Structure formats: structure tokens, C-alpha cells
Amino acid sequence: MRSYRLIAGVVLGLAFVGYLLWSTLAAQAAECHVCVAFGPGRNCATASAITDKDALRSAQSTACGTLAHGMNDAIACENRPAVSEECKDKGR
């Protein structure tokens, strides 16, 4: 009887983890790759989100992370036009 409870618990736990993984990844419908030039450097990053707009903003913020030093630089970098940007639908 105890082994059935253990097996049922493991199966339910795996099902829950699978659902969490699926629901998290299913919401990421757009993926964007952005390159930014700020100061003396240039950096590129990729991000995914529900919309292209959100993915672009997240990728630019990530790319600026290594280029900007301090909050003022981070804001200035994120407000600059990207050198290149490319988005694609993740096939949902």
C-alpha cells in the first residue's frame, strides 16, 4: 500500500512539474534578437515574451546590461535605437 502512495505521489509531482514547464514555455510566443551599440561597446542578446514588443524590450535591456555602468547609462542605453533587431514567431 505504501509503494502505491509513493508511485502516485511521484506521478502527480511529475505531472505538476510538466504542467508548470508547459505553461511557462507556451506563453513565450515571440523571440527577438537585438544588437545595441552604447559607449565604446556593442552587445547582442536574445529574449522571448508574449509579444514582439515585450521581447524586443527585454532583449535590448539584456544587451545593455553589460554595456551600461549605473542606472543613468542603463536608461540611456535602453532608449537608444537598436543597431539591429530581428523577431520571429515561435510557431504557436
Q: What is the mean pLDDT of residues 36-60?
A: 92
- List the chain domain ranges: 30-89
Cα–Cα distance measured from residue 24 to residue 17, given in angstroms and rounded to the nearest whole number: 11
Cα–Cα distance measured from residue 82 to residue 88, given in angstroms and rounded to the nearest whole number: 17
Cα–Cα distance measured from residue 30 to residue 89, given in angstroms and rounded to the nearest whole number: 5
Give the orientation angle of helix 71-79 with respect to helix 52-65, to 10 degrees: 140
Write down the pLDDT at residue 67.
92
**Which residues pair with residue 83 across a beta bridge?**
none
Across the chain, mean pLDDT equals 88
pLDDT in tens, 51-89: 889 999 999 999 999 999 899 999 999 999 999 999 988
Write down the pLDDT at residue 91.
62
